[in-house]
Amino acid sequence: MATTREITSTPAREPACPAFDVKRIREDFPILKQKVYGKPLIYLDNAATSQKPTKVINAIVKFYTEDCSNVHRGVHLLSERATEAYEGARIKIQRFLNAADSREIVLVRGATEGINLVAQTYGRQNVKAGDEILITAMEHHSNIVPWQILCEEKNAVLRVAPINGRGELILEEFQKLLSARTRLVSVTYVSNALGTVNPVREIVRMAHAMNVPVLIDGAQSAPHMKVDVRELGCDFYIFSGHKVCGPTGVGALYGRAELLEAMPPYQSGGDMISSVTFEKTTYNAIPYKFEAGTPNIAGVIGLGAALDYLEQIGLASISSYERALLSYATEAIGQIPGVRILGTARDKASVISFVLDGVHAHDVGTILDREGIAVRTGHHCAQPVMEYFGVPATVRASLAFYNTKQEIIALAAGIQRAQALFG
Amino acid sequence: MAELEGLYQEVILDHSKKPRNFHSMADADRHADGYNPLCGDRFTVYLKLKDDKIVDISFQGTGCAISTASASILTEILKGKTRAQAEALFETFRDLVTGKIHANGETPALGKLAAFSGVCEFPVRVKCATLVWHTLRSALEGDPEVVATE
């Protein structure tokens, strides 16, 4: 495989991050070495899930080969090691988010479960008939449906703040929808379908001025930018491990301690109790109150390793490299005649969603696949966004810090090949 | 790349760009909706039946090249066919796109449907090819539910 430098004739447009050695970083990801259909794999479906570096894979292998045991239970050495690694990962997550206390980190299956947990505990406790939950028009289904179910149960109302033609939240409209009836604001930090970065500090400020708590869905922001929950001032923040180079089936919910303390338990069973008799059960302290049953121990340890890995590279370096790559890709894809990019927010993460004149997204996906290029096609679990832009589906190329300019050139060529086939 | 050309045969490209019988039918006896959430394909099939025969058929909606061409060719091929013939053709078509049979001299009934022989190399596209057939079956059965292939 030729390096980026060898095929580049326009050094001026090289991502402006000379210290970022993408070639070396790619060595950390064994999956990227393979060929598909005889061509080098070009993985541009990072918003769906990210690839895993050797360090993460090894951490999981190490747990199962050396430390496998249940946590919080045994007096034996293996259980001690497993518990230490598991709780160590919780502290890594706390530091990753700059939360004040590791008790504020609840380990869950992923962002979806994190939102459901808040809806089913905080939501059921605090939302009454006639109350309102405020979301935006760019939410993933997982930040729509849990609130719809809650609103239906409580006879509450789900309010949706609109977006503009660039795919940005209209803040003035958001402000107007905040009212004395609003019990919770739940917004995505970064849109999975459009890449829009929401002005979450402003959103938190507006909501808090009305004494409304804010949940931030960080599923798409966590991989791309440094997040400091105390600086953001949000009340809840959730993210998925598998989108930050960690394993699937694990994620974290950050909640301010005083809110978590007041919330009822989520699921019930072992580990979430401090004592059980047939007459009365006393619940465990936070965060364990929300963690019933044996958790995804290997997954949590793998997530800890993933956060170590990201921090070793540096979220700031990742952000700046990805932004340069996004701007290169936006130009390279956007200038192809017949391509329309959806989501042109002024502040964007590395997601390019587009449609082609006369070629359906699904056909583009198949043609790109045969070029070795993995993209997502469809509605990206954000049907209301598709409806807003009047398209049934888009092609989405979502970039990670291990993607290269050369891969973008291949993507552009693949798009042109699809256009040629459909002439 | 031969497989791509095998998938997007001329007949398929032609029907996807210029779908035949592509209109709604105000006086249809039956209609049904089909939806593939994976790619957002959404079709309505309209039928006019006389006794056991499909005397007119049309469709509307949006979809990828494979699903649109499949719908277009289906409407061409089924006009004048009986329910039983349509069912039998669906079975043969499904066997074709899942690779159980191959388009050759033994399956003359396939006609233009033979153009879908390349679909079997693309397992995730089988649903695109069969969406309209499922929708047709639902229209024939008078089932008001939206057919979803997921």
Chain B residues within 8 A of A394 when measuring between CB atoms? none
pLDDT of residue A6: 39
H or E segment and range at residue B60: strand B53-62
pLDDT in tens, A78-124: 999 999 999 999 999 999 999 999 999 999 999 999 999 999 999 99
| Sign of the torsion formed by the C-alpha atoms of A93, A95, A97 and A98 | positive
pLDDT of residue A18: 53
**Where in chain A do CATH 3.90.1150.10 domains reside?**
4-52+314-422
| C-alpha atoms less than 13 angstroms from C-alpha of A136 in its C-beta half-sphere | 31
Taking the Cβ of residue B19 and every Cβ of chain A, the question of whether any pair is shorter than 8 Å is answered with no
At the topology level, CATH places domain A56-312 in Aspartate Aminotransferase; domain 2 (3.40.640)
**Burial class of A134 by CB neighbour count within 10 A (0 to 12, 13 to 18, 19+):** buried
A24 has a pLDDT exceeding 90: yes
Average of pLDDT values for A44-63?
98
User: What is the percent of chain A with per-residue pLDDT over 70, rounded to a whole number?
Assistant: 96
pLDDT of residue B9: 94
Shortest Cα distance from B83 to chain A (angstroms)?
31
A1 has a pLDDT exceeding 50: no
* DSSP three-state, residue A65: helix
Shortest Cα distance from A113 to chain B (angstroms)?
22
- Chain A segment 394-423 residues within 8 A of B by beta carbon are 421-422
pLDDT of residue B17: 95
Q: Domain boundaries in chain B?
A: 2-140
User: What is the percent of chain A with per-residue pLDDT over 90, rounded to a whole number?
Assistant: 88
H or E segment and range at residue A238: strand A236-240
- Where does A4-52+314-422 sit in CATH, by number? 3.90.1150.10
Average of pLDDT values for B23-44?
90
Return the ∠ at Cα A12 (arms to A10 and A14), rounded to 5°.
85
pLDDT of residue B104: 67
Option in B3, B7, B42 nearest A392 (CB): B42
**Where in chain A do CATH 3.40.640.10 domains reside?**
56-312
Closest-CA residue to B113 (of B123, B103, B105, B121): B103
CATH number among 3.90.1010.10, 3.90.79.10, 3.40.640.10, 3.40.605.10, domain B2-140: 3.90.1010.10
pLDDT in tens, A321-361: 999 999 999 999 999 999 999 999 999 999 999 999 999 99
pLDDT in tens, A373-384: 999 998 888 889
B150 has a pLDDT exceeding 60: no
State pTM to two decimals.
0.91
A361, B64: Cβ pair inside 8 Å?
yes
Taking the Cβ of residue B25 and every Cβ of chain A, the question of whether any pair is shorter than 8 Å is answered with no
Shortest Cα distance from A139 to chain B (angstroms)?
18
Average of pLDDT values for B90-107?
85
Taking the Cβ of residue B7 and every Cβ of chain A, the question of whether any pair is shorter than 8 Å is answered with yes
Here the ipTM equals 0.89
pLDDT of residue A80: 95
Taking the Cβ of residue B126 and every Cβ of chain A, the question of whether any pair is shorter than 8 Å is answered with no
Residues of A marked active site are found at 381
**Banded model confidence at residue A4, pLDDT cuts 50, 70, 90:** very low
pLDDT of residue A11: 41
pLDDT of residue B39: 72
Closest-CA residue to B66 (of B97, B45, B108): B97
Taking the Cβ of residue B63 and every Cβ of chain A, the question of whether any pair is shorter than 8 Å is answered with yes
